[in-house]
Structure 1
Amino acid sequence: MSLPTVRTIGFIIGLFLITLAVSMIIPMATLLLFERTDDIFAFLWSSLVTFIAGLALVGPGRPANTQLRPRDMYMLTTASWVIVCCFAALPMLLIQHISYTDAFFETMSGITTTGSTVLTGLDHASPGLLIWRSMLHWLGGIGFIGMAVAILPLLRVGGMRLFQTESSDWGEKVMPRSHMVAKAIVLVYVGLTLLGALAFWLAGMTPFDAINHAMAAISTGGFSTSDASLANWKQPAVHWVAVVVMILGSLPFTLLVATLRGHRTALVRDHQVHGFIGFLVVTWLVVGTWLWAHSENTWLDALRIAAVNVTSVVTTTGFALGDYTLWGSFAVMLFFYLTFVGGCSGSTAGSLKIFRFQVAWQLLKANLQQLVHPRAVIKQQYNKHNLDDEIVRSLITFSFFFTTTIAVIALGLCLIGLDWVTALTGAATAVCNVGPGLGPTIGPAGNFSSLPDSAKWLLTIGMLLGRLEILTVLVLFTPKFWKH
């Protein structure tokens, strides 16, 4: 990698750090509003250190006529996520007086929109810290949307090239320049966040809680302002608002923009959206009926509780409404399976994502037809796109390394000394960016604070790998990547 390329990557990361430093003004303003001035200096010093670091990287300037190649984008993507987390952890380190391991874990969980936490006593925590955790979700969510729309299709990671033609066609026909597309996505993201905050407030939350939960829901992150998560609010309206906002955060943002700009059938005609919404509704009905039959809840209450928890896990948000591990072995196993589903491509959701299951189904049908009719030429398409060999190879490779990563991390956690349920579900929830796992330790009623530091670092790596679609990080460890 040439020196001009390294300087360009450093320049871009420096801009990210300066943006991060400036964004710390919001928690400082929040502390002033709540008259909790004792924590302001933690954010002030963190902001100053982050700004100086960003300025040092931006200062030399960006080399002229230097363009990043696709291989350089792998380095930029991974380095920016790690370095931003290093500095974003400073306020938590100074306010909570926790170890840097815990601070980095919490920050990586926030910025990858995972939602796993090591903090307790959130109901009485510093408002500046609470808003900062939610902001990490929000910033990480919009960052991943940009990466999923602009970078991953270019890098041909995990079958994402399926959406490259769609994005470029949409960009050319509706908005002629890529920066206009990015601006439109940001405006929609901000608009949905504001609408979500208003809806939470009207449903019964305080304005502060409403803003925090809106940022956590639209980014499918899951950090709450209460240890009990959404169970702290008894109003059914709050729960249904959370369901709607989580779903909106899991839809393709390019299609949301296209719909708002007059292409009213953009979302309706998309196969990915059909599959996602259909899967959610069917699972709501199955789990809701199961809960109704095995509890004293009415059918409507059971459906609401099931809808919140199912949507939270499928969209990889991590909110909890009660402890679903107490619903019986069928529900526990089903929720473990739901961990791997995910939302739509080009959304803030993590995990495998619904389109990969749909493509796998198309490939299965085609292979079965080929067995019956060996000489037939079977056309393989998904969402009006041809499934060529490169897309199929990329998708299979991603799926293999996705499951292998979970298996390796789970084995490492068992080696550290965790029980197999905590190890397996902890690895799955980290790589899938879901949040809570299963079992008494890291289940929806627990958190990750009691895990040893080595386990937290291993899970942190899992969060990063899952958020960056595995291959984007793994390619950096191949010898050929470093050869010209």
Structure 2
Amino acid sequence: MRLRPVLHLLGYLWFGLGLMMLLPIAVDLIYGGGVWDEFLMAAGVATFVGLAMTITTAGEPLRLRARQAFLVTGASWVTSGFVVAMPLIFAGVGDGPVDAIFEAFSGLTTTGATVLTNLESLPRAILFWRALLQWLGGIGVIVMAIAIFPFLGIGGMALFRTESSDKSEKVLPRTREIAVRIAGLYAFLSFTCAVVYWLGGMSGFDAITHAMTTVSTAGYSNYDASFAAFPQLSVHWIAVVFMILGALPFALYIQLMSRGDFRLVLTNPQVRSFFVFLVAIVGILTLWLMTNLEISAMEAATLAALNVTSVVTTTGYANSDYSAWGAFPFALFVLLMFVGGCTGSTAGGIKIYRHQVSGIILMAQLRRLLFPNAVVITQYDGKAITPQIVASINAFLTVAFGSILLITVALGAFGLDFVTAFSAAVTAVMNVGPGLGPEVGPASTFAGLPDGAKGLIAFAMVLGRLEFFTLLILLVPAFWRD
């Protein structure tokens, strides 16, 4: 395989990340904190190495074939995690380099799990960098889901191909075109969210950083108490609205912008199911909280809406320790961690469409059992569900659940109890954020875990964010042969 175009793109990426490190320097000069020199050092290393790679590998047109697209996608996310961890390592964030790397990967993959405590005392440049990582990771996820994954046939994403042209030579040009349109929309949503947060009562700095981590459905907050630190209920409901907007298909937004027909939202099967599911679960949990915790309807609805939406969209915000609400909510939130948002959004998880397609396949199989001679046609949103798509989704679900079980066992080997190990594995692979229980739950952090467990969880975050196959295919010997 020719690696020159792969290294060339990685050079561009590292150079760009180095330039991004200049933004926290500006924040540090404005608010103080004394970490501008650490960011400047990291920026210098990243831009120098990135520029050197770009220059030494230049000289030919950039055309990526499918295998090169797999490699550059996987290498970009894995190497970027270490690049963006440099300023955190230099600044001594956490209890050592492993904590800094964990925080960087959690931010970049928009997982939102954290090992940091006393967030209010950290320099604002560090808080801004954490939020910026999640914002950059969010737009990267969208570009992958819309522009790359459908052409690579990952996890049934071929259902969402925007054109049927040859995938072997179209990945990079198509990515450029779509990324520009997404970037403008993503920036507009983020700006709007920041303004509304500010009008709702947040400070300017909190509004900007929380807007970045809300639209990206990522979940980093500037406070240990997350959204419980904000007494204004309006702020909680603003978060609910923009978490939902971040979890909707961005391709649908682009269609709305070009056609101006809002019926597209109502006719989209993913979006309809997503809204119906959210409303039903929030309603059920609201009634349960009112009945069992004896709280007002408004308080119960706020608690249910923010926490359910946060977990389903894999954001990671919390305004209460929902793992301590009782057996029913505890079990419910375990199930919600497997749901996910819509495809082509910033959300992680299994995704609504995979649940829908699995349901269609199940019903088709039941019909075949009832009527063996019948011709059963399976379609999703008017498109045929081919055997290749069925096999791809089945493989995705098998690898997802298999990964969770293996990581749970491995975390158990580090001495973690089952609830902590299982919920940490699920929240990492599904990119949800907080786990369950007293050690890694919504009211805790991952700081108390052994370094080996933190490293494994960081790997699980990347594995889940890339939907498994992008990394696993690199382990196949045939992948590297011409």
- State whether TM-score is above 0.5: yes
**1:435-474 correspondence runs (5 A):** 435-474=433-472
Contact 2:7 2:57 in 1 (8 A): no
Contact 1:149 1:167 in 2 (8 A): no
- 1:64 counterpart letter in structure 2: E
Give the secondary structure class of the aligned counterpart of 2:56: coil
Determine whether 1:59 maps to 2:55. yes
**1:86-235 correspondence runs (5 A):** 86-97=82-93, 98-165=95-162, 179-235=176-232
CA distance in 1, matches of 2:374, 2:57: 59
Residue equivalent to 1:477: 475
CA distance in 1, matches of 2:475, 2:7: 20
Determine whether 1:22 maps to 2:19. yes
Residue equivalent to 2:251: 254
Give the secondary structure class of the aligned counterpart of 1:90: helix
Contact 1:322 1:445 in 2 (8 A): yes
Deviation of residue 66 (structure 1)?
5.5
Deviation of residue 167 (structure 1)?
9.1
Determine whether 1:6 maps to 2:11. no
- 1:257 counterpart letter in structure 2: I
- 1:18 counterpart letter in structure 2: F
Deviation of residue 416 (structure 1)?
1.5
Residue equivalent to 1:319: 317
For residues 166 and 380 of structure 1, do their structure 2 counterparts lie closer, same or farther at Cα, with a shift above 3 Å needed?
farther
Deviation of residue 177 (structure 1)?
7.2
Aligned CA RMSD, in angstroms, stands at 1.4
TM-score (norm 2): 0.96
Contact 2:312 2:336 in 1 (8 A): yes
Contact 2:18 2:46 in 1 (8 A): yes
- 1:391 counterpart letter in structure 2: I
Contact 1:422 1:437 in 2 (8 A): yes
Residue equivalent to 1:74: 70
CA distance in 2, matches of 1:259, 1:475: 36
Deviation of residue 254 (structure 1)?
1.0
Give the secondary structure class of the aligned counterpart of 1:317: coil
Residue equivalent to 1:300: 298
Alignment size in residue pairs = 473
CA distance in 2, matches of 1:249, 1:107: 21
Once the two structures are aligned, what percentage of the paired residues are identical?
44
**1:349-360 correspondence runs (5 A):** 349-360=347-358
CA distance in 1, matches of 2:117, 2:312: 25
Deviation of residue 178 (structure 1)?
6.1
- 2:277 counterpart letter in structure 1: F
Structure 1: 4+ residue segments shifted above 6 A: none
Give the secondary structure class of the aligned counterpart of 1:447: coil
CA distance in 2, matches of 1:6, 1:63: 13
Of the three residues 281, 284, 295, the one matched with 2:282 is 284
Could you tell which deviates more after superposition, 273-282 or 263-272? Answer: 263-272
Residue equivalent to 2:412: 414
Could you tell which deviates more after superposition, 329-338 or 177-186? Answer: 177-186
Contact 1:7 1:63 in 2 (8 A): no
1:92-135 superposed Cα distances (whole Å, 9 cap, x missing partner): 11223441111110000000000000011111211000000000
Contact 2:32 2:123 in 1 (8 A): no
- 1:419 counterpart letter in structure 2: D
- 1:62 counterpart letter in structure 2: A
CA distance in 1, matches of 2:92, 2:214: 24
Give the secondary structure class of the aligned counterpart of 2:373: coil
**1:302-451 correspondence runs (5 A):** 302-451=300-449
Residue equivalent to 1:267: 265
CA distance in 2, matches of 1:325, 1:178: 40
For residues 177 and 222 of structure 1, do their structure 2 counterparts lie closer, same or farther at Cα, with a shift above 3 Å needed?
closer
For residues 22 and 89 of structure 1, do their structure 2 counterparts lie closer, same or farther at Cα, with a shift above 3 Å needed?
same
Contact 1:220 1:249 in 2 (8 A): yes
- 2:65 counterpart letter in structure 1: R
For residues 304 and 151 of structure 1, do their structure 2 counterparts lie closer, same or farther at Cα, with a shift above 3 Å needed?
same
> What are the ranges of 5 or more consecutive residues in structure 2 without an aligned counterpart?
166-172
1:422-468 superposed Cα distances (whole Å, 9 cap, x missing partner): 10000000000001001110000000011001101110110010000
CA distance in 2, matches of 1:402, 1:180: 31
Give the secondary structure class of the aligned counterpart of 2:259: coil
Residue equivalent to 1:41: 37
Deviation of residue 370 (structure 1)?
1.2
Deviation of residue 67 (structure 1)?
2.5
Deviation of residue 181 (structure 1)?
3.1
CA distance in 2, matches of 1:389, 1:373: 20
Could you tell which deviates more after superposition, 137-146 or 295-304? Answer: 295-304
> What are the ranges of 5 or more consecutive residues in structure 1 without an aligned counterpart?
169-175
Contact 1:339 1:432 in 2 (8 A): yes
Deviation of residue 262 (structure 1)?
2.7
CA distance in 1, matches of 2:164, 2:38: 42
TM-score (norm 1): 0.95
1:64-105 superposed Cα distances (whole Å, 9 cap, x missing partner): 245221111111111111111111001111223441111110
